[in-house]
Amino acid sequence: MTLLEWFKDRRKNASMSKEQRHREIADGLWTKCAECGALHYTKDFQRYLLVCPACSFHEKVSAPERIAQLVDPDSWIPTDDHLLANDPLSFVDVKSYKDRLSQARAKTGMNDAILTGLGTLEGQPLALGVMDFRFLGGSMGSVVGERITRLVERATAERRPVILVCASGGARMQEGMLSLMQMARTSAALQYHREAHQLFISVLSNPTTGGVTASFAMLGDLIFAEPKATIAFAGRRVIEQTLRQKLPEGFQTSEFLLKHGFVDRIVEREQLRPTLSRVLRLHRPVGVPSPLSPATRL
């Protein structure tokens, strides 16, 4: 968006009546930036990959949108989408886990907090998993763990690079210890992927926390993070309560992790696809077009 276009947008916003604006936000015609409050025509906002042109705030992206942003059109083949969480502990807190699951499914149209599949990125084959924060806070239960494990195992066998886009509040408590074990299972699959000298790139988006941070998110051969994403193991509020003191500005952000040496690069969303493409290409031996046979090549 050029500066001129941006000013035009602003004028459009200013000339609207308050009521009209509220109605149009509710209708989804306009989207308000969660950071600076600027109003964007939703179609434009999507064209900007949900990055605010006024303040460059990176809004959360749903898994289907993220996949559309990253893979080549018509190359996407979903994997293991039929897996469903089955409430192994019959867990009930103020609400039952079963109800929470059906509400999340209705809200998102997804079966769990991740989509996995095979596709190409500028013609390069890959295995991609994308988490979705809208589904129970992107929490990791058995299905998330199983889909990632199967994806990585398949990628190892087919010699494909793996990219996982993280967005998670952590372990899914309603599955008890089974959810904790997903940290071990996903890390196990990645160990074998690594031994096969296959690449794994972890992309950290807002927020990446808890058990996901303490497993595959931090195991990337390369780790990229979106600007100003919250990336943490222990929650900020928990730490504040424990220490009884305010934490410094910018604590547990992508920039904080970069400074402390835990991410390779901060990559703006607009640059994510070209950066991934370039890095994938650099990892491919010169003169070898693709490790996949023509039959399995997508």
Would you tell me how many other CB atoms lie within 10 Å of the CB of residue 175?
A: 25
Between 121 and 190, whose beta carbon lies closer to other proteins? 190
For residue 255, what are its two tokens? Answer: 């920039």
Which residue do the tokens 């370039």 mark? Answer: 278
For residues 109 and 250, which CB has a smaller minimum distance to Zn ion in the complex?
250
44 touches Zn ion by CB under 5 A: no
Instruction: Please report, as a single letter, which amino acid is at residue 266.
Output: I
- Selected from 25, 110, 178, 222, the binder of other proteins by CB under 8 A is 178
Interacting span for Zn ion (CB under 5 A) from 18-26, 32-40, 99-107, 243-251: 32-40
Distance in angstroms (rounded) separating the CA atoms of residues 22 and 9: 16
Residue 218-247 contact track with other proteins, rule CB under 8 A, x = bound: xx------------xxxx--xx--xx---x
Task: Tell me which amino acid residue 148 is.
Answer: I
Should residue 33 be labelled a site residue for Zn ion when binding is judged by CB under 5 A?
yes
Chain-centre distance for alpha carbon 207: 8
* Residue closer to other proteins, measured from CB, 54 or 181: 181
With 0-12 / 13-18 / 19 or more C-beta atoms within 10 angstroms meaning exposed / middle / buried, residue 119 is: buried
Q: How far apart are the C-alpha atoms of 254 and 87, rounded to whole Å? A: 34
Question: Does residue number 258 form part of the binding site for other proteins (CB under 8 A)?
Answer: no
Distance of CA 150 to the CA centre of its chain: 18
85 binds other proteins (CB under 8 A): yes
The verdict on 34 binding Zn ion (CB under 5 A) reads: no
Closer Cβ to other proteins, 248 or 294, answer by number: 248
Residue from the set 74, 82, 285, 287 that interacts with other proteins by CB under 8 A: 82
DSSP for 266-290, please give it.
E--HHHHHHHHHHHHHHTSPTT---
- How would you classify the pairing of strands 200-208 and 265-266? unpaired
Which range touches other proteins (CB under 8 A), out of 22-30, 46-54, 120-128, 248-256? 248-256
Binding other proteins (rule: CB under 8 A), the pick from 10, 47, 86, 278 is 86
Residue 126 corresponds to which tokens in the numbers above?
Answer: 């890959």
Binding site for Zn ion (CB under 5 A): 33, 35-36, 38, 52, 54-55, 57
